[in-house]
């Protein structure tokens, strides 16, 4: 694995910190818990999409693009980070927002990430749920091309093999930190959605022959479907990296017990997990991804799947901006 062979621009603050969660480890009385602070990547409040965009936007620049086109749900962290990346390289950003969540408060389409999209001068249009959103984004790209622009279409979540390189790079960064702290990592846990994060991590760890298992906590798809999506993308990423030898499907694990009623729909376990991390560590998770990811990690500890004596790294993938679209879940005033 030699990532400098690929086009890359600097958009974030790296390496992100790897820290021990002393209080949470004590509270849960299970494994030693560490956190990889990818919520601190620094691009317009940060998050995991920044790593992917360093490779994707570099590819767009290399192709002479002047406009980034992408898609996501209404409160997409990916759209917000893509819009910020576009500002940094002097491009426009056009996005499609899918109305996947329609039962939240009045502010859902104005607060949180949508507010930040406005400030970043992102041009966005809404779509009803259920369309092939990547096909919609390609069609938008065609329309912009007809208008004389040079669009570069980024798939939802930045999850193709180029974007996943960002998480192969994270795997290398994490191992280097662990080695310098003399920390043997047994497991990595994180929220998995469009699959690029997990696929990149697995491909990177495989390339480095590092026997660390990655537990993906699904925020939307069933276990089978998520494993399938991650596996296919991990294979394509491994191929792009030029890694020899097939990647085994056994390397991919995903859990769908923490999705609850659906994507972006609150669960009690998510609310408890977010409240616990804020209270114990002063760290904000988000209601759509990292809150469910943490609920999953807590569930695996309670089930004895993650045990005392193990070292577990939770990757905080960001997303706290979306808390402001869900004030009723956490506001003591609104609860009173
Ligand atoms: C996009 C996102 C994820 C999921 O990452 P994928 O690469 O799409 O699987 C997790 N957490 C947050 C906060 C995200 O925005």
What are the DSSP E strand ranges found in 121-261?
Answer: 123-128, 151-153, 187-192, 213-218, 252-255
**CA–CA dist 266, 101 (Å, integer):** 11
Ligand 1 center to residue 146 CA distance, Å?
Answer: 32
Among the listed residues 76, 159, 169, 321, the single catalytic one is 76
Ligand 1 center to residue 92 CA distance, Å?
Answer: 23
Ligand 1 center to residue 165 CA distance, Å?
Answer: 15
pLDDT tens for the chain, 336 residues long, are 899 999 999 999 999 999 999 999 999 999 999 999 999 999 999 999 999 999 999 999 999 999 999 999 999 999 999 999 999 999 999 999 999 999 998 889 999 999 999 999 999 999 999 999 999 999 999 999 999 999 999 999 999 999 999 999 999 999 999 999 999 999 999 999 999 999 999 999 999 999 999 999 999 999 999 999 999 999 999 999 999 989 999 999 999 999 999 999 999 999 999 999 999 999 999 999 999 999 999 999 999 999 999 999 999 999 999 999 999 999 887 666
Can you tell me which atom of ligand 1 is nearest the CA of 197?
7
Who lines ligand 1 at CB under 6 A?
47-48, 77-78, 157, 159, 191-198, 286, 289-290, 317-319
What are the DSSP E strand ranges found in the chain?
Answer: 18-20, 32-37, 67-73, 92-99, 123-128, 151-153, 187-192, 213-218, 252-255, 311-316
Give residue 333's pLDDT. 79
Reply yes or no on whether 169 is catalytic.
Answer: no
Q: Count Cα neighbours of 217 within 13 Å in the Cβ-side half-sphere.
A: 28
Give residue 225's pLDDT. 98
Can you tell me which atom of ligand 1 is nearest the CA of 52?
7
Can you tell me which atom of ligand 1 is nearest the CA of 322?
13
Give residue 332's pLDDT. 83
**DSSP for residue 215:** E
Q: Is 320 helix (H, G, I), strand (E, B) or coil?
A: helix
Pocket test residue of 77, 273, 294 for ligand 1, highest count of atoms within 8 A of CB: 77
Residue with tokens 């990532």: 3
């Amino acid at each position: 694995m030699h990532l400098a062979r690929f086009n890359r621009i600097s958009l974030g603050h790296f390496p992100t910190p790897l820290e021990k969660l002393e209080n949470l480890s004590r509270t849960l009385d299970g494994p030693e818990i560490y956190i990889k602070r990818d919520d601190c990547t620094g691009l317009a409040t940060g998050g995991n999409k920044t790593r992917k965009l360093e490779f994707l936007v570099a590819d767009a620049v290399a192709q002479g693009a002047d406009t980034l086109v992408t898609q996501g749900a209404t409160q997409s962290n990916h759209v917000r980070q893509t819009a910020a990346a576009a500002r940094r390289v002097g491009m426009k950003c056009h996005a499609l927002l899918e109305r996947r969540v329609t039962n939240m408060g009045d502010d859902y389409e104005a607060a949180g990430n949508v507010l930040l999209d406005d400030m970043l001068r992102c041009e966005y249009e809404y779509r009803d749920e259920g369309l092939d959103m990547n096909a919609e984004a390609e069609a938008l790209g065609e329309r912009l091309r007809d208008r004389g622009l040079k669009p570069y279409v980024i798939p939802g979540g930045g999850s193709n093999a180029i974007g996943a390189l960002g998480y192969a790079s994270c795997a290398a960064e994490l191992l280097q930190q662990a080695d310098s702290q003399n920390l043997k990592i047994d497991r990595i846990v994180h929220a998995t959605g469009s699959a690029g994060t997990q696929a990149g991590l697995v491909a990177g760890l495989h390339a480095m022959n590092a026997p660390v298992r990655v537990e993906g906590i699904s925020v939307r798809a069933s276990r089978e479907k998520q494993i399938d999506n991650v596996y296919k993308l991990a294979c394509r990423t491994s191929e792009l990296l030029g890694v020899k030898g097939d990647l085994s499907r056994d390397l991919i694990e995903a859990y769908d017990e923490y999705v609850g009623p659906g994507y972006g729909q609150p669960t009690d376990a998510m609310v408890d997990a977010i409240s616990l991390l804020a209270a114990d560590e002063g760290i904000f998770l988000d209601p759509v991804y990292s809150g469910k990811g943490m609920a999953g990690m807590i569930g695996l500890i309670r089930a004895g799947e993650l045990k005392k004596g193990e070292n577990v790294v939770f990757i905080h993938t960001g997303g706290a901006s979306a808390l402001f679209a869900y004030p009723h879940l956490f506001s003591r005033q609104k609860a009173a």
